[in-house]
Amino acid sequence: MKPKSILLVSNYYPPEQGAAPNRIQVLARALQQSGYAVQVVCPLPNYPSGKVFPSFKGKLYHKTVEDSITVHRLWLWPSKSANKFIRLLSMLSFAKSLALFFILKRIPRLVFVQYSPVFVGFTGVFWSWLFGKKTILNVSDLWPLAGLEMGLLKKGGYYSLLEKMEQFCYRKSDMILGQSEEIVHHINHKIQDSNLFLYRNFPDFPPPEIMSKPPSTPIKIVYAGLLGVAQGLSTILKNINIPEQVEFHIYGDGPDAETLISPDNLKLVYHGSLTREELHKELRLYDVAFIPLVQRIYGSVPSKVFEYARLGLPLLYMAGGEGSNLVQQHRLGWTIPACDYNALQQFLNNLSVTKIEKFQKKTIQKNAVEAFDFKLQFKAFKKEIERL
């Protein structure tokens, strides 16, 4: 019997690092292992450095088979510039390549489109709809609303255009996945009677054995992930003083990296980027994982909540919203309102080994494994897409 085919459209895919490429790879592997013939179409790898990786430079199109998954990588003009116009040109360049891919290639009946970015999501949905395919839209961020809340966008003609593109994506999709309850509620408010499914960004790796080493001073707090505008790590660190009993360690890359490479504070250590496997080994050595957003963004639940809790790390969550509720509900650590630098400073000043020991790593890992079950969620998702 010929396996069912599905195409995943994404702006990110490994060997790029971070939550965005990881979530697509985890889904692609799960679909392949459950009997689907899986293809992925994505840009030439460039995230988060904003430069095409050396082994892919000079290519317009690159096709590989990785873990029995066919990966089509398309040309784009990469950039990690903070300039909105330059970033728009970069997204449009991939959207153009993606349109040509849909026109020139044979597309499966099922098309899974990752949204955002808006222009990439819109391009995927438009061509999928035009060719009569069944479209599954995976909404991880509520753009353009998130851009408005972060101060990256202002209401006007361009914002209205993005809103129309967003609504088009919702209307023309046969099934919509929301990565938070807030996203599901937002879409249901805009497009009633839509086929909605809560699909959180749960990780799918064996939970590692917890190291027996107890916490000690200095207490080591770690941030690992994208160093971008939304996370606002340099802004947060400028507004606090790291007390004597605390060290801050940072892993990752992005637009904010240059600000953090040479910090004046010796208690702030920047380690650069590691592969996901290497990072997981390193993170086990730390006492607390810091998960910030520069401000509360409606619909956003950082995937670090699920990943780092599965590693057994107590979470210091400073992003508000639904993520804060999850941390409290499952007893994964401490929550601080987004942008409340005074509360963060007070927390750090009072942080002690005794305070950390209230959240045992084994207990946190157990809570996360029970509450954030990828296989159970995927089984329900697969059942839904087989009805399309």
pLDDT recorded at residue 264: 65
pLDDT recorded at residue 265: 59
Strands 315-318 and 110-115: unpaired
- Token pair 């991880």 is found at 140
Give start and end residues of each alpha helix (H) in the chain. 19-33, 84-104, 118-130, 145-149, 157-171, 181-190, 233-238, 257-261, 276-283, 304-310, 321-329, 341-350, 353-356, 361-371, 374-385
pLDDT digits 0-9 by tens, 211-220: 878 888 899 9
Which tokens go with 322?
């639904």
- Global pTM reads 0.90
pLDDT digits 0-9 by tens, 30-72: 999 999 999 999 999 998 778 888 889 989 999 999 999 999 9
- Token pair 């947060």 is found at 236
- Arithmetic mean of pLDDT, 67-82: 89
pLDDT recorded at residue 49: 77
pLDDT digits 0-9 by tens, 100-121: 999 999 999 999 999 988 999 9
Domains located in the chain, CATH noted: 5-202+373-385 (3.40.50.2000), 219-371 (3.40.50.2000)
Strand-by-strand arrangement of the 315-318 sheet: 268-270, 246-251, 219-224, 288-292, 315-318, 333-335
List CB contacts of 37: < 8 A, sequence separation 6 or more: 3, 4, 5, 6, 108
